[in-house]
Structure 1
Amino acid sequence: MLAKANRITTGDDYKGVVRRGRRFVTPHFVTYVRSDPEAAASRGQGARFGFIVAKTVGGATQRNRVRRRLKAASYLMLDRVQPGVDVVIRALPDCSTASWETLRSELAESLTRSANSSTSRRRESSS
């Protein structure tokens, strides 16, 4: 279970990540990643995760199951994300039928791609 310090809780934070973050698409969900080192310093915490599971995924039971599985996968990947990074995961309709291993591997792939893209951008700006 993600600690409160590792969760995005306000609508404004969700909007900021989705509108200004980098997007990574996988077959079962879309991951938005936004790094804000200044906000992280003021918060004093590590990475934060948020989840969007719409009615297109299924009924309330299916949506809650998908959200719980995504939270558990995020908890396992928490050490792979830099402090100060906000991640929002928007589940796609097929997410409810995906296996646990598939969800975990797709999330790991998204977070790896986001870390690699932010590293390459830092290198380009410092050159």
Structure 2
Amino acid sequence: MTTPRTSGFGPGLRLRHSRDFSRLRQGGRKIHTRHFVIYLLTRPDGSCRLGLTVSRKVGGAVQRNALKRFLREWFRLTIGELPPHTDISVVARSNAGNLGFSDVREELKCLAHPGSCHGGQP
């Protein structure tokens, strides 16, 4: 018997439309890290939402899907520490394919704790 999850990554927490991604790229703040380019855009209402872009340049399907799972889990665990009403788009660079969960968590901790980014300031 499995226990139900108390928090997940439901549709209300996802960026799902291309217009949302375009709005982030055009009007959002851009942060460069070693393995990711992160776009942030504050909205007037609603919860924090996450959008992921992981292309085939990152690696095969196994690597891409693992990286997306790590990114979603990072978001699920840190959503309470992230700026409210913010859309976040994470674009994986080609060298991100071999990252583990601890690597992802370490590199993205700057979003929850400003000033700890090595590649840029939020």
TM-score category by the smaller chain?
A: 0.7 to 0.9
Within 2, Cα distance between the matches of 1:106 and 1:51?
A: 15
Q: Does 1:15 align with 2:16?
A: no
2:103 aligns with 102
Higher share of residues assigned helix: 1
Count of matched residue pairs: 110
The superposition leaves residues 45-89 of structure 1 with CA deviations (integer Å, 9 ceiling, x where unpaired) of: 310000000111012221111111111111111011233100000
Q: Does 1:112 align with 2:113?
A: yes
Q: Which TM-score applies when normalising by structure 2?
A: 0.81
Q: Is the 8 A contact 2:55 2:92 kept in 1?
A: yes
Give the secondary structure class of the aligned counterpart of 2:114.
helix
Q: Is the 8 A contact 1:49 1:86 kept in 2?
A: yes
Within 2, Cα distance between the matches of 1:15 and 1:112?
A: 26
Q: Does 1:50 align with 2:51?
A: yes
Q: Which TM-score applies when normalising by structure 1?
A: 0.78
4+ runs deviating over 6 angstroms: none
Tell me the amino acid that sits aligned with residue 21 of structure 1: G
Within 1, Cα distance between the matches of 2:81 and 2:26?
A: 23
Tell me the amino acid that sits aligned with residue 6 of structure 1: L
Q: Is the 8 A contact 2:67 2:99 kept in 1?
A: no
1:63 aligns with 64
Percent of aligned pairs with the same amino acid: 26
Instruction: Give structure 1 stretches of 5+ with no counterpart.
Output: 119-127
Aligned CA-pair RMSD: 1.8
